[in-house]
Amino acid sequence: MTTEKTRTVWAATYDLLRALRLTTIFGNPGSTEQPFLKNFPDDFQYILGLQEASAVAMADGFAQATRRPALVNLHTSAGTGNGMGNIMTAFLNKTPLIVTAGQQTREMLLCEPMLANRDETMLPRPYVKWAYQPARAQDVPGAIMRAHALALQPPAGPVYLSIPLDDWDQPALGPAVVRTVSARFAPDGERLREFAKRISAAKRLALVYGGEIDRSGGWDAGVALAEKLNAPVFHAPNIERPSFPENHRLFQGTLPPALGPLSSRLQGFDLVVVIGAPVFRYYPYVAGPVLPQGCELLQVTSDPSDAALALVGDSLLGDAKLTLEALRALVVDGSSRMPPKPRILERKLVEPPNSPLTASEVYAALSELKPENAIVVQESPSNMIDLATWWPTVRPASYYTFASGGLGWDAPAAVGIALAQKLSGEGRPVVAVIGDGSFQYSIQCLATAAQHKLKVIYIVPCNGEYAILKEFAILENTPNVPGLDLPPLDIVSAAKGFGCVAVEGRTRDEIKAAFSKALSADGPTVIATPISRELKPLIPTAAAPANKRSPAHA
């Protein structure tokens, strides 16, 4: 029995983690973590990732899907290094993650023994909100409490604690202090009224919705505001969480991720209101103004950094959901405003289908089977527009991707999301569409999916290339870049090796049969689908040769 006299830092910390409901721990263990993981309590669950990139992204997906912070434990500097790409992504995703890493014994740190994490607080910067190694063992629980408080306050994000391995057996000061903090804040009333006035007065108004809306639980509030204003809604470029029903009469599509094309798309509007997104998350440089002439911009964000880095416009700090609700109460009804023309989706298919199928043909075939409540996770860069065309997101918390572009996040994030579905009993299936190149970065996440019998269906469009980079090369006029074709990859065998059911689907019937089977399977399925090589313009409106065959295919 633990008495105040015998309570260790270990015991005080596990009690704190219980109080914070951080009982699912993701990680990959090493000798520097074993004193923390020893006698692992029965009421905790350890989710083993076979590489830290997977552990971090699984924790990220889990945190997003449960809408709570998650804990991931990494192996000192080497594990932190492996996890770093996805820590960077978690930072941009604004996911509250508590990342702990073991550290060598305090007694030996001076002489830098093997596994010492040298300059431990520098390693994860600048992609953590805080990096700290407690000054003494007794501060470990307090540091975790502080890390938790910081991680979940806006903007949420990862925090990093380095914990020497000899700290855990040290006597604690007593039970850890458990505190709660707020995860949202309301906008300043006076500035809000000013914004509402400008929005009401706008003649040609456009709303641009970003991922923070869905993250904050503001989906319905976003729909209600758009409907009251009767204004067109765009998704922000490179959005990580769609936040407005893509089949709504007011929805006008996703803005292009480049200066010139984006400002052209906003031509004719006199006021653009960006809610819950940076202004703007561009990808290639295509010259042009930020906004068309005569257009003003308002931004609502809970992230002071996003407010500061906007190139134009006036900003209001506030939680997306609270601000949407408050704006709705204040703005003048827009029923006299001319509604936008409904968007027409290009959904043409040829008969007989192409051989191999195009990505569009694959998504079209599966659109008949994909359950309405499925959660889509997407990292298939060159055909993500095809995916959005066939599988529009129409419900909240139904589509996840990375805010960073750092490959290797989505496949393991899908595992974390599926785990959340399993533990909550909601049981929504997860359909992860991951390019054949992207799949390789953290493919070992499949073992975790198989081990926990998670309902994830991976669709892997196999074009044997980094198609998006070939498209980028055309836009940027950089011919003869090496390394854009993949070596032969037996994705089916690799997936089987990790314990998944895996099949190749070449025809529509084969893909549909495999998908139907996967829906009722008790575990993950990987469906590899050879697709035709197509090169499309990287930015649909930018000048680039359309539908050029890939040179490597010739």
Ligand X SMILES: Cc1ncc(C[n+]2csc(CCOP(=O)(O)OP(=O)(O)O)c2C)c(N)n1
Q: Which residues bind ligand X (CB under 6 A)?
A: 85, 380-383, 405-408, 435-438, 441, 463, 465-469
Q: Of the candidates 292, 218, 222, which has an alpha carbon nearest to the alpha carbon of residue 255?
A: 292
Of 242-250, 289-297, 305-313, 462-470: span binding Mg ion (CB under 5 A): 462-470
User: Which residue lies nearest ligand X, judged by its C-beta?
Assistant: 435
Report in angstroms how near the CB of residue 195 gets to Mg ion at its nearest.
43
Question: Nearer Cβ to Mg ion, position 396 or 435?
Answer: 435
DSSP assigned state of 492? H
Of 92-100, 227-235, 286-294, 429-437: span binding Mg ion (CB under 5 A): 429-437
d(CA 88, CA 298): 27
| 514, β-bridge pairs | none
Report in angstroms how near the CB of residue 173 gets to ligand X at its nearest.
42
C-alpha dihedral (307, 309, 313, 319), degrees to nearest 10: -20
d(CA 27, CA 79): 9
Q: Which of 61, 435, 505, 524 binds Mg ion (CB under 5 A)?
A: 435
Question: Nearer Cβ to Mg ion, position 369 or 474?
Answer: 474
313 binds, among ligand X, Mg ion, none (CB under 5 to 8 A by kind): none
| 209, β-bridge pairs | 235, 275
Report in angstroms how near the CB of residue 434 gets to Mg ion at its nearest.
10
Question: Nearer Cβ to ligand X, position 330 or 385?
Answer: 385
Question: Nearer Cβ to Mg ion, position 35 or 437?
Answer: 437
398 binds, among Mg ion, ligand X, none (CB under 5 to 8 A by kind): none
Question: Nearer Cβ to ligand X, position 117 or 382?
Answer: 382
The answer to the question of residue 437 lying near Mg ion (CB under 5 A) is: yes
| 73, β-bridge pairs | 27, 100
Scan for tokens 């029995």, then name that residue. Answer: 1
The answer to the question of residue 386 lying near Mg ion (CB under 5 A) is: no
Report in angstroms how near the CB of residue 177 gets to ligand X at its nearest.
39
Question: Nearer Cβ to Mg ion, position 246 or 436?
Answer: 436
| 208, β-bridge pairs | 234, 274
Burial 174-198 (b: 16+ CB within 10 A, else e): eebeeeeeebbeebeeeebeebbeb
In terms of residues, how long is the chain?
Answer: 554
Question: Nearer Cβ to ligand X, position 352 or 483?
Answer: 483
Contact 208, 277 (CB under 8 A): yes
Of 5-13, 32-40, 463-471, 527-535: span binding Mg ion (CB under 5 A): 463-471
The answer to the question of residue 463 lying near Mg ion (CB under 5 A) is: yes
Question: Nearer Cβ to ligand X, position 134 or 437?
Answer: 437
Q: Of the candidates 58, 52, 152, which has an alpha carbon nearest to the alpha carbon of residue 102?
A: 52
> Token digits for 81?
């290094």
Report in angstroms how near the CB of residue 358 gets to ligand X at its nearest.
12
469 binds, among ligand X, Mg ion, none (CB under 5 to 8 A by kind): ligand X
Report in angstroms how near the CB of residue 381 gets to Mg ion at its nearest.
8
Q: Who's near 348: CB < 8 A, 6+ residues apart?
A: none
Please give the backbone phi and psi of residue 95, each rounded to the nearest 5 degrees, phi first. Answer: -100, 130
The answer to the question of residue 141 lying near Mg ion (CB under 5 A) is: no
Scan for tokens 């599966």, then name that residue. Answer: 366
Size of the site for Mg ion (CB under 5 A): 4
Question: Nearer Cβ to ligand X, position 117 or 383?
Answer: 383
Contact 534, 358 (CB under 8 A): yes
3-state SS of 272-311 is EEEECCCCCCCCCCCCCCCCCCCCEEEEEECCHHHHHHCC
d(CA 285, CA 472): 11
Report in angstroms how near the CB of residue 470 gets to ligand X at its nearest.
8
Which residues sit at the interface with Mg ion, rule CB under 5 A? 435-437, 463
